[in-house]
């Protein structure tokens, strides 16, 4: 039997890439969206539609979804994952870094969800997975605006979950702790980066992105009337 289409933003590396691989291995066609086409092409996944999309561009996401759905049918799982972490001491952080995080991590997530929500409601079927963070549950003094963006995702996910439950659409919010990815390449403040790396070393490093991808697949594979509302996954030694 043909499996439904799944769509992922930020699919060119890290957790998005790992999730694309997990769903592809399980036999799903995939719509992969990110800015780095070469990285998505190198994954060489079967039945994959690749689109160069910046999540700040609402029309581009909608067009990518339309293209992929014309080939593989409706998107049944959307992973609004794309994000950046410009962690910094707020006293010296340039405001342009807030703008970027707010636009990508909050409006980008809304643009992504918006592209598929109506169709899922009409079909009374579908799953939205929204990328927050452990930093969307608690605050850290050098994560100020990043925490703000992730608290935003938490609040929207919880509100959406209530709104969509009557339409049988599931909303899962994902709150990982330290995962081994390229995310630290976005930290431009050297002191914050050094502190983060030192804390990470103390907890024995981050955990593999493939663990996150497999967990999302497991949650998705439950029957549509069973919902894992939140996945909060950290290294065992992470206490903060
Ligand atoms: P990576 O840096 O490896 O992946 C980030 C992904 O987001 C890339 O595929 C990147 O693709 C994409 N992306 C960034 N900006 C945009 C944009 N404007 N438009 C489209 N795609 C974009 O890090 P992670 O896998 O760790 O990050 C994924 C998500 O997980 C983020 O939202 C992050 O905040 C969250 N997270 C990560 C944790 C960790 O410890 N790693 C912990 C908690 C949450 P490209 O540059 O090609 O566009």
Task: Select from 77, 82, 83, 86 the least CA-distant residue to 31.
Answer: 77
pTM: 0.98
Q: Indicate whether 135 pLDDT > 80.
A: yes
For ligand 1, what atom is nearest to the CA of residue 85?
Answer: 34
In angstroms, the CA 183 to CA 81 distance is 12
| Ligand 1 neighbour 178 (Cβ under 6 A) | yes
Establish if 70 belongs to a structural domain. Answer: yes
Name the domain count of the chain: 1
d(CA 171, CA 71): 25
Q: Is the CB of 182 under 6 A from ligand 1?
A: yes
Q: Is the pLDDT of residue 35 over 80?
A: yes
- Does residue 145 fall inside a structural domain? yes
Q: What percentage of the chain exceeds 90 in pLDDT?
A: 98
Note whether residue 69 is domain-resident.
yes
Whether 146 is a known active-site residue: answer: yes
Q: Is the CB of 216 under 6 A from ligand 1?
A: no
Contact partners, residue 37, CB within 8 Å, separation at least 6: 12, 50, 52
**Whole-number mean pLDDT of the chain?**
97
Query: Does ligand 1 have an atom closer than 6 angstroms to the CB of 131?
Result: yes
CATH number at residue 149: 3.40.50.720
Q: Is residue 54 in a domain? A: yes
Strand partners, 129: 79, 172
pLDDT for res 102: 98
- The residues that bridge with 51 in the sheet, in sequence order, are 33
Closest C-alpha residue for ligand 1 atom 6:
10
Tell me if 238 is assigned to some domain.
Answer: no
Quote the ligand 1 centre to 119 CA distance (angstroms).
26
pLDDT digits (tens, 9 = 90+) for 183-224: 999 999 999 999 999 999 999 999 999 999 999 999 999 999
* Residues 10, 216 contacting (CB under 8 angstroms): no
User: Nearest-CA neighbor of 166 among 218, 96, 225?
Assistant: 225
Closest CA to 200 of 149, 235, 228, 160: 235
Domain that holds residue 39: 5-230
DSSP string, 105-168: IIIHHHHHHHHHHHHHHHHT--EEEEE--GGGTS--TT-HHHHHHHHHHHHHHHHHHHHHHTTT
Q: Separation of 199 CA from ligand 1 center, angstroms?
A: 21
Distances in Å between the alpha carbon of 77 and those of 4, 10, 65, 108, 139?
8, 14, 12, 17, 29
């Amino acid at each position: 039997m043909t499996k439904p289409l799944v769509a992922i933003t930020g699919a060119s590396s890290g957790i998005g890439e790992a999730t694309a691989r997990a769903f592809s291995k399980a036999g799903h066609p995939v719509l992969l969206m990110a800015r780095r086409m070469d990285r998505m092409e190198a994954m060489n996944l079967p039945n994959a539609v690749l689109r160069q999309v910046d999540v700040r561009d609402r029309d581009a996401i909608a067009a990518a979804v339309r293209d992929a759905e014309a080939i593989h049918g409706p998107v049944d799982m959307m992973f609004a994952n794309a994000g950046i972490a410009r962690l910094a001491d707020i006293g010296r952080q340039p405001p342009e870094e807030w703008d970027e995080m707010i636009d990508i991590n909050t409006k980008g997530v809304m643009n992504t969800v918006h592209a598929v929500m109506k169709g899922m409601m009409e079909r009374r079927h579908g799953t939205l997975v929204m990328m927050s963070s452990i930093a969307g549950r608690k605050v850290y003094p050098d994560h100020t605006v990043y925490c703000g963006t992730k608290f935003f995702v938490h609040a929207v996910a919880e509100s959406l979950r209530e709104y969509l439950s009557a339409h049988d659409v599931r909303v899962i919010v994902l709150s990982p702790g330290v995962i081994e990815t390229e995310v630290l390449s976005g930290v431009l403040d050297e002191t914050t980066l050094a502190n983060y790396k030192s804390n990470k070393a103390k907890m024995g490093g981050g955990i593999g992105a493939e663990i996150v991808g497999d967990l999302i697949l497991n949650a998705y594979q439950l029957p549509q009337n069973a919902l894992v509302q939140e996945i909060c996954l950290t290294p065992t030694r992470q206490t903060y």
